[in-house]
């Protein structure tokens, strides 16, 4: 069996990372770092790392079309992927933007829009999109509410903008579309923000001490690419993320939203193949720079996942292990094979001794 673990939030900026881990007892992680082949790469969003595992390495991957596919019920349409390849989509998720230290940021703990709130937003947007000249110029066809507080704009064409996944939101520029058509898209967002401000559902949220939904997060425009099974670097996927579910459905491989109860449980299935696991336990604390929570979570990850996997590599039960450690300033790929267990001369590398490239 071969495993690929995607770990968003494992890496912090170099100096902060040293301070966060120097006094932690992480023998399994140190063993994996010492025995593994380490390859530093430029930083990437967790969403991009997932797409790359499925052979999609575009500069602006079609996150919206893929996530939407993952949010559709499996029995809704067996041929959904084939029928929607000609449609362009962009994520238009209702969010709360706040002003902190004189800069606008994406609210971390915003309660997502309920289905009723999404329907209210859709009803309010319908006349705006029908009458606004920007909407017609930009090829916007309709606003589609979805699950888990998500929504989409259906487009007639691919917009000439660059956008940022919410997992990388940081500062004003990342909150705004960039590129050749950024101007009309930003003007449309201004109209949308004024409309959202006046919605009764936002007054109701404020009464419940919930932050208002005051903007739409636009990101991930594109349409479903043609499936290419030979480009997939996995034969099964595990993790509770709609994008991962959509990628698995698009690639025609099994997906489990629930992670295995333990590495031993997965290895005991004897299914073989290449399994992709999204372990996003660290991501929220890393985004908040909550070092105490992050340290506690890392120690739990060490105990529940890294120690059993290190042992599985050491005793030959795991043929190959790849760990993609993601951070704001770098990405580190750690690769081990069944040969790694015999490389006794390679000493453990404590995490605080990692030196990230400048």
Q: For the chain, state the CA radius of gyration.
A: 22
Q: What is the strand order of the sheet 255-256 is part of?
A: 37-41, 331-337, 320-326, 2-8, 274-278, 236-238, 255-256
325 touches 9 (CB < 8 A): no
Confidence of residue 82 (pLDDT cuts 50, 70, 90): very low
Mean pLDDT value across the chain: 90
pLDDT surpasses 70 at 171: no
β strands within the chain, DSSP E: 2-8, 37-41, 88-95, 97-100, 103-106, 140-145, 151-155, 215-222, 236-238, 255-256, 274-278, 320-326, 331-337
**Tens-digit pLDDT profile for residues 15-52:** 899 999 999 999 999 999 999 999 999 999 999 999 99
The H or E element spanning position 115 is: helix 115-131
Give the tens place of pLDDT for each residue, 297-342.
999 999 999 999 999 999 999 999 999 999 999 999 999 998 988 8
Residues 6 or more apart in contact with residue 332 via CB below 8 angstroms:
10, 11, 38, 39, 40, 41, 324, 325, 354, 356
Q: Is pLDDT above 50 for 79?
A: no
Pairing between β-strand 2-8 and β-strand 140-145 as defined by DSSP bridges: unpaired
Q: How far apart are CA 133 and CA 191, in angstroms?
A: 11
CA proximity to 2, closest of 328, 292, 331, 273 = 273
The pLDDT of residue 104 is above 60: no
**DSSP state for residue 165 in the 8-state scheme:** -
Q: Which residue has the tokens 């993952």?
A: 70
**Which CA distances in Å does 254 have to 3, 237, 250?**
15, 6, 10
DSSP single-letter state for residue 224? P
Q: Domains of the chain: which residue ranges?
A: 2-55+229-353, 63-222
CA distances from 188 to 23, 177, 230, 267 (A): 50, 11, 40, 51
Closest Cα partner for 28 from 257, 254, 301, 248?
301
Q: pLDDT band at 85, cuts 50/70/90?
A: low
**Could you tell me if 95 and 196 are in contact, meaning their C-beta atoms sit under 8 angstroms apart?**
no
**Residue of 98, 130, 144, 117 whose CA lies nearest to 200:** 117
Residues 6+ apart with CB under 8 A from 236: 248, 253, 254, 255, 256, 271, 273, 274, 275, 276
Percent of the chain with pLDDT over 70: 92
Q: 124-133 contacts: CB < 8 A, separation 24 or more? A: 124/195, 124/196, 124/199, 125/192, 125/195, 128/191, 128/192, 128/195, 132/188, 132/191
Structure tokens at 11: 């890496």
Q: What is the pLDDT of residue 78?
A: 44
Q: Do 335 and 39 contact (CB within 8 A), yes or no?
A: yes
Distances (CA, A) of 196 to 90, 116, 210, 247, 297: 19, 14, 15, 32, 37
Residue 84: CB atoms within 10 Å: 18
> If you average pLDDT over residues 225-239, what whole number do you get?
89
pLDDT at residue 264 in the model: 92
Is a pLDDT exceeding 50 seen at residue 132? Answer: yes
Helix, coil or strand: residue 99: strand
* Fold (topology level) of 2-55+229-353: Alkaline Phosphatase, subunit A (3.40.720)
């Amino acid at each position: 069996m071969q495993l690929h673990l995607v770990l968003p939030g494992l890496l912090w900026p170099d100096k902060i990372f040293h301070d966060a881990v120097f006094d932690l007892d992480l023998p399994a992680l140190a063993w994996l770092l010492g025995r593994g082949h380490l390859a530093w790469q430029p930083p990437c969003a967790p969403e991009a790392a997932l797409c790359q595992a499925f052979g999609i390495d575009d500069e602006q991957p079609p996150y919206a079309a893929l996530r939407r596919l993952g949010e559709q019920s499996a029995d809704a349409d067996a041929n959904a992927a084939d029928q929607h390849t000609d449609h362009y989509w962009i994520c238009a998720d209702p969010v709360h933007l706040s002003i902190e230290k004189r800069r606008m940021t994406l609210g971390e703990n915003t309660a997502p829009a309920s289905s009723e709130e999404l329907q209210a937003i859709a009803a309010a947007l319908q006349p705006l999109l029908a009458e606004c000249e920007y909407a017609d110029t930009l090829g916007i066809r309709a606003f589609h509410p979805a699950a888990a507080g998500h929504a989409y704009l259906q487009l007639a064409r691919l917009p000439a903008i660059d956008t940022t996944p919410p997992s990388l939101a940081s500062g004003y520029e990342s909150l705004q579309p960039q590129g050749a058509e950024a101007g009309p898209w930003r003007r449309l967002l201004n109209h949308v923000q004024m409309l959202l401000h006046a919605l009764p559902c936002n007054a109701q949220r404020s009464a419940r001490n919930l932050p208002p939904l005051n903007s739409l997060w636009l990101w991930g425009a594109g349409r479903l690419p043609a499936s290419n099974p030979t480009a997939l670097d996995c034969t099964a996927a595990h993790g509770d993320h709609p994008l991962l579910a959509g990628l698995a459905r698009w690639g025609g491989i099994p997906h489990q939203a629930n992670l295995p109860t333990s590495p031993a449980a997965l290895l005991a299935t004897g299914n073989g193949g290449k399994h992709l696991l999204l372990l996003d336990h660290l991501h929220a604390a890393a985004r908040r720079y909550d070092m105490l929570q992050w340290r506690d979570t890392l120690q739990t990850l060490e105990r529940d996942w890294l120690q059993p996997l290190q042992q599985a590599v050491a005793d030959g039960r795991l043929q190959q292990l790849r760990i993609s450690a993601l951070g704001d300033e770098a990405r580190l790929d750690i690769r081990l094979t069944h040969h790694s267990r015999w490389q006794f001369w390679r000493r453990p590398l404590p995490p605080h001794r990692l030196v990230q490239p400048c």
